Structure formats: C-alpha cells, structure tokens
Structure 1
C-alpha cells in the first residue's frame, strides 16, 4: 500500500533502489562482471575521438546491460520465490530474461563496433 508522498516517497524510493543495487552486487556474479565492464568501457569512451552523441551511445549501451541484468535477476528471484520446483513456465521466464541479456550484450558489441570501426 502506498502511503508516502512528496519528499518522503522520493527518499524511500532512493533507499530501496540503493538496496537493490547492493543486493545485485553482492548476490549476482553477472552484475559484478557488468559493473567491471562499465568501469572499463566508460573511461575508454571518454578517451576516444568520437562525437558527443557517439560517446553518449557508447556509455548508454553499457548502462543498458546493467539495467537488463537487474531486471533479469528480479525475474529469477520472483520465479524462485514462487517455487523452486521445476515448471515449464518458470523455465520460460528465466530463459527469456537470459535472452534479453544476450541481446543487450550483443547491442553493446554492435554499437561499439559500428562506432569504432
């Protein structure tokens, strides 16, 4: 039930978001790997001789990988919360989350390749 409004709501939403990032970082190896990728590629994006729009795209796609991983992890946690028993719909949900991450990482490769080559 939503009971907060104004600054209080913003404060609590920020705190929940930070808690989610901490949880993802501590519990998800894939998220930690993507954080490392971001820590490597974002500085590289600033060193490259590209336009501001190209730089923004290079940075945006690596952030998108983090966002997709957070959503994928949320799907997996929700499915596991419902039941740890094998079910075809649970597998489909997890596989589709994984597929989303595959497409996101493919987008990183394509955008970086198009801009750099």
Structure 2
C-alpha cells in the first residue's frame, strides 16, 4: 500500500478512524460527555470548564488509542493470553485515569455550590 502524503488523504483517514471509533459503545458515551463539557464551556467559560472540555477531547483520543490497541491484539490472537490481557488492561487504565482527572476537575468546579 502506497503511503498517502497530502492533507486531504490524511483528513479522509482521520474521518474514517472517527467513524470506526463511533461504532464503539464506550466512545459514544465519551462523545456525549465531550458535547456536554463543550456546552458547559460555551455557557460559562472559565478555567475549569476549559479543562473539562479539553480533557473530554483527550479522553476521546485515549479511547481511540485504546480501541486501536485492542483491535491490534485481537488481530494477533482471539484466544485468552495473559500478556494480551495485561496490554488491554493498561489501555483501559489510561482511559480511567483521564476520567478520574475529569471527575476531580468537575468536583472542583462544583465546590462553590456546596
């Protein structure tokens, strides 16, 4: 396969990747979170809403990488393998770390109301 070098081809590849990502149930939930976070930012822009919105987009990016890792592992073997389980668990941990960061910032954002 010849490597595509122009920006139009790269954009088409990225859109295809986004289509594949949206097929994942977890990514759809995270996309809803990102839309809500961007809505908060548009409604009341401040440092916390900016952080929540940006981290929500980072969460989608990490989910895309996690999905790529899982699909690669599944191409290698569909059988249960302890090392592949560790690899998939590490991807899931990366997603969880970003979610935790979002939750902590959201708690700080809501703290003046309590």
By the TM > 0.5 criterion, same fold? yes
Gaps of at least 5 residues in structure 1 are none
Give the deviation of 1:88 after TM superposition.
1.1
Deviates more, 1:36-45 or 1:100-109: 36-45
Give the TM-score of the pair, scaled to structure 2.
Answer: 0.87
The aligned counterpart of 2:108 is 114
Structure 1 consecutive aligned stretches of length 4 or more whose deviation exceeds 4 Å: 1-4
CA distance in 2, matches of 1:33, 1:24: 11
Quick check: 1:77 aligned with 2:74? no
Q: Aligned-residue CA RMSD in angstroms?
A: 1.7
CA distance in 2, matches of 1:47, 1:67: 24
The aligned counterpart of 1:22 is 19
* Contact 2:48–2:105 (8 Å) recurs in 1: no
| Correspondence 1:1-117 to 2 at 5 A | 3-5=3-5, 9-26=6-23, 28-48=24-44, 50-51=45-46, 53-117=47-111
Give the deviation of 1:68 after TM superposition.
1.0
Gaps of at least 5 residues in structure 2 are none
Give the deviation of 1:2 after TM superposition.
5.9
Secondary structure (helix, strand or coil) at the match of 1:105 reads helix
* Contact 1:61–1:111 (8 Å) recurs in 2: no
